[in-house]
Structure 1
């Protein structure tokens, strides 16, 4: 079945000048050979912790990696089961994406990245790392210890995870989407690496903790799928989605893939990130409202991208909305808009990340008739830098 519901509401025509793009590291469709570099897992037949390629237990037609913890009654090798997957080295800023699910709440996994091929023996050996306690609450780690979050994972539900990080400054943020978190939700932001240094992040590690007879931890399986990396910077899109459009010039037409769903309820979102230059090198997105009137929230984000560890941001963006080559609306410095209170309320309702009232980001909120529209993002005074266009269908 095609994504007709979202496409009939608002559909993307084209992007230009976009740069962010994920590269697949592993999807486990062809098995584990060539994906897993190392592990301490036994075979399932041996009764201890194991890793296997299995059919997706929660979505038919897909192969995933199963990490089984084994039993604390089996002695050596059963208490910690782990695997490692090599990553393309990131010397600057990058984004790691993967999917995770669990059979029941009786699990205690930890996953993150490391600059070393040596197996992490403790949390301090990871650089960026999150995990789930046996009570299903997410825990995030930084250089001072750990933080218990308010993120709770449901069983038999796939979650998307993003690690955005800057290797030179040893800073990372972690985000999640799935289940009740219909918008991308922070787990931890601007945390300092546990294992600091200049060596690039080159390994993804995951482990499941069984514990001991007196202190049991996990008894059920966890699953991983779709490990991707973007070595160019921050990319809070799903691989292959509208916002993850690759680099270079020219147009990319969106067909059956549909817009990215980021907000609450029936909210369609289009996002594209790239470099804003001068002249013809502006950032542009187009969309179509196929029938009726729709209230649309359009955001041109520059300065606030800096809070997501994006460097070289567009300091003073100017957002312009066109229909049939006629300018309908422009905005700079969204906090000065006449409908700023409605913009704030609508942004919260659709799940968009908040903007400081005094930021120079640009926002347009208005009701549009059916038709084709073009959004253009430029810099005031021919300023340049990295920026993001977002288009939300608001209720």
Structure 2
């Protein structure tokens, strides 16, 4: 649909008008008006380069016009600092709280042909100051009935899920492998 390498190579004025232009000319950015539906953003290193990257999505429309229903990221989960991290901002500020289902999916990715899935993902949710709000390993150990009632329960007992009422603010979702396991996982909100 759309591609970009080096954000100033296309849409420079539109990107600058958002106030969210990247700080490095080698970074990518796209401004798009999307119809309701499912979309995938794929980030690759130029010339097969590797490293840590960040994909962000912002709603640039007026409040109340559109609502993000789900966001997910698939990536490799390593050990130490090489875990998967997803950022979540809950708003608007005048809203008291939002119900959010958070999932860390690993073993069931094999059913979709994903090689090397993370066998046993663990999930942490941290607040904007880095404090641990809650953690989960194996979704059925807590909130099983509540999560099943959403119809979005993980298909594998080793996967993680949390149903939370989050107040407006910034949160960080961290996916690790139990016992320093490594592999491909999906973090969703």
TM-score, reference length from structure 1:
0.33
Give the structure 1 partner of residue 55 of structure 2.
Answer: 252
Deviations 1:113-145 (A, max 9, x none): xxxxxxxxxxxxxxxxxxxxxxxxxxxxxxxxx
Give the structure 2 partner of residue 370 of structure 1.
Answer: 168
Give the structure 1 partner of residue 30 of structure 2.
Answer: none
Q: Which runs of 5+ in 2 are unaligned?
A: 1-34, 46-50
State whether residues 304 and 359 of structure 1, in contact with CA within 8 Å, keep that contact through their aligned partners in structure 2.
no
CA distance in 2, matches of 1:257, 1:378: 32
Structure ranking higher in strand proportion: 1
Q: How many residues align?
A: 142
Give the structure 2 partner of residue 360 of structure 1.
Answer: 158
State whether residues 319 and 378 of structure 1, in contact with CA within 8 Å, keep that contact through their aligned partners in structure 2.
yes
Q: Which runs of 5+ in 1 are unaligned?
A: 1-157, 159-177, 183-236, 259-264
58, 80, 93: which one aligns with 1:279: 80
Give the structure 2 partner of residue 345 of structure 1.
Answer: 149
- Is residue 300 from structure 1 mapped to residue 104 from structure 2 by the alignment? yes
114, 118, 138: which one aligns with 1:333: 138
Q: Quick one: structure 1 residues 294 and 360, their matched pair in 2 at CA, closer, same or farther if it must change by over 3 Å?
A: same
Give the structure 1 partner of residue 118 of structure 2.
Answer: 314
Instruction: Quote the offset at 1:267 in angstroms.
Output: 5.8
State whether residues 302 and 313 of structure 1, in contact with CA within 8 Å, keep that contact through their aligned partners in structure 2.
yes
State whether residues 334 and 361 of structure 1, in contact with CA within 8 Å, keep that contact through their aligned partners in structure 2.
yes
Instruction: Quote the offset at 1:315 in angstroms.
Output: 0.4
Instruction: Quote the offset at 1:311 in angstroms.
Output: 1.5
Instruction: Quote the offset at 1:272 in angstroms.
Output: 0.3
Instruction: Quote the offset at 1:256 in angstroms.
Output: 4.6
State whether residues 245 and 272 of structure 1, in contact with CA within 8 Å, keep that contact through their aligned partners in structure 2.
no
Deviations 1:57-78 (A, max 9, x none): xxxxxxxxxxxxxxxxxxxxxx
TM-score, reference length from structure 2:
0.67
Q: Which has the higher contact order (CA 8 A, sep 6+)?
A: 2
State whether residues 103 and 154 of structure 2, in contact with CA within 8 Å, keep that contact through their aligned partners in structure 1.
no
Instruction: Quote the offset at 1:249 in angstroms.
Output: 1.0
SS of the equivalent of 2:73 reads strand
Moved over 6 A (4+): none
State whether residues 316 and 383 of structure 1, in contact with CA within 8 Å, keep that contact through their aligned partners in structure 2.
yes
Please report the RMSD computed on the Cα atoms of aligned residues, expressed in angstroms: 2.5
State whether residues 105 and 160 of structure 2, in contact with CA within 8 Å, keep that contact through their aligned partners in structure 1.
yes
> Larger Cα Rg: Structure 1 or Structure 2?
1
Deviations 1:304-362 (A, max 9, x none): 1111111111001000000011000000110111x11110111x2xxx4x533x52000
Instruction: Quote the offset at 1:287 in angstroms.
Output: 1.1
SS of the equivalent of 2:71 reads strand
Correspondence 1:82-161 to 2 at 5 A: none
State whether residues 154 and 161 of structure 2, in contact with CA within 8 Å, keep that contact through their aligned partners in structure 1.
no
Structure ranking higher in helix proportion: 2
Deviations 1:248-268 (A, max 9, x none): 41323323589xxxxxx9662
